[in-house]
Amino acid sequence: MTDAPHRDTAALVIGGTQGLGLTIAARLVAEGCTRLVLAGRDAEKGQAAARRLGAAFMAVDLADARAVIDLVDRAAGAMGRVDALVNAGALTDRGSILDTTPDLWDRVMAANARGPFFALQRLAQRAVEGGHPAAAVNILSMVVHCGQSFLAPYAASKAALANVTKNAANALAGHRIRVNGINCGWMDTPGEDAVQRRFHGAGDGWLAEAEARQPFGMLVKPDHVAGLAAYMLGPRSGVMTGAIVDFDQNVSGAYPE
């Protein structure tokens, strides 16, 4: 197998301007990808990231389904086609079953489930029209199994996207379009740092304290997950489709002994 498995890949990474999305994009470049579009809301951050990777940046509001569909078309126009998609963007606003408002529910579901659905749909439509294979990875979360009480709309949105992952994988297999997902555990990212400070009053030492409580002495690291995402998108994963991998150090369904 080639040492540059992504040398022929034309990839669109939504939510690719920081954190896990950016790390996945960097891994694709390291594995030979030269046609790459990063998409996100923050133009300044996105353009800086794109320059570092030799990629293009396209602004998008993930909650705007029409804009997401147009994004896939724009990316395909810039690269010739899109045959690899990463849905890594998401809102993590807090809300429980007792205090989530209809507005919060709609915003989170629009960005975390509806937007990725229509990005995947447009990728698939174009691949079918163009007669070429494609692959997509949806970044999910361990919260699909339940989630903390303060993550009710976020957990619901990721659970919806988990179903989309399997449903689409089944529907698109005959077109040689593979769709897989990763349930990420608690991860060390700039976005998580901002969330901890904004919603939980965390100070500068929160990460060290959190990691000291983990079985492996660390939170999940983006580079670890990026390797799996790149594998799922590339030829080394063969016919793998419809898989959702728990990427965490805490086993879902386990109980204290």
> CB of 9 within 8 A of CB of 234?
yes
List, for residues 82-125, the tens digit of each pLDDT value.
999 999 999 999 999 999 999 999 999 999 999 999 999 999 99
Lowest mean per-residue pLDDT among 2-6, 20-24, 235-239: 2-6
- The percentage of the chain sitting over the pLDDT mark of 90, rounded to a whole number, equals 93
What is the residue type of 246?
D
The Cβ-side half-sphere exposure at 208, using a 13 Å CA radius, reads 3
Residue 190's pLDDT band (cuts 50, 70, 90): confident
Residue 2's pLDDT band (cuts 50, 70, 90): low
Bridge partners of 95? 151
Indicate the pairing of strand 177-184 with strand 134-141.
parallel
What is the predicted pLDDT for the residue at 171?
98
What is the predicted pLDDT for the residue at 120?
98
> CB of 233 within 8 A of CB of 6?
yes
Residue 217 neighbours by CB distance under 10 Å: 9
Q: Where are the domains of the chain?
A: 10-185+221-246, 187-219
What's the CA gap between 237 and 109, in Å, rounded? 30
Q: Is the pLDDT of residue 1 over 80?
A: no
Q: What is the CATH number of domain 10-185+221-246?
A: 3.40.50.720
Residue 215's pLDDT band (cuts 50, 70, 90): very high
Within 8 A by CB and 6+ apart from 34, the residues are: 7, 54
What's the CA gap between 34 and 8, in Å, rounded? 8
Residue 3's pLDDT band (cuts 50, 70, 90): confident
> CB of 146 within 8 A of CB of 135?
no
What residues are annotated to the active site? 154
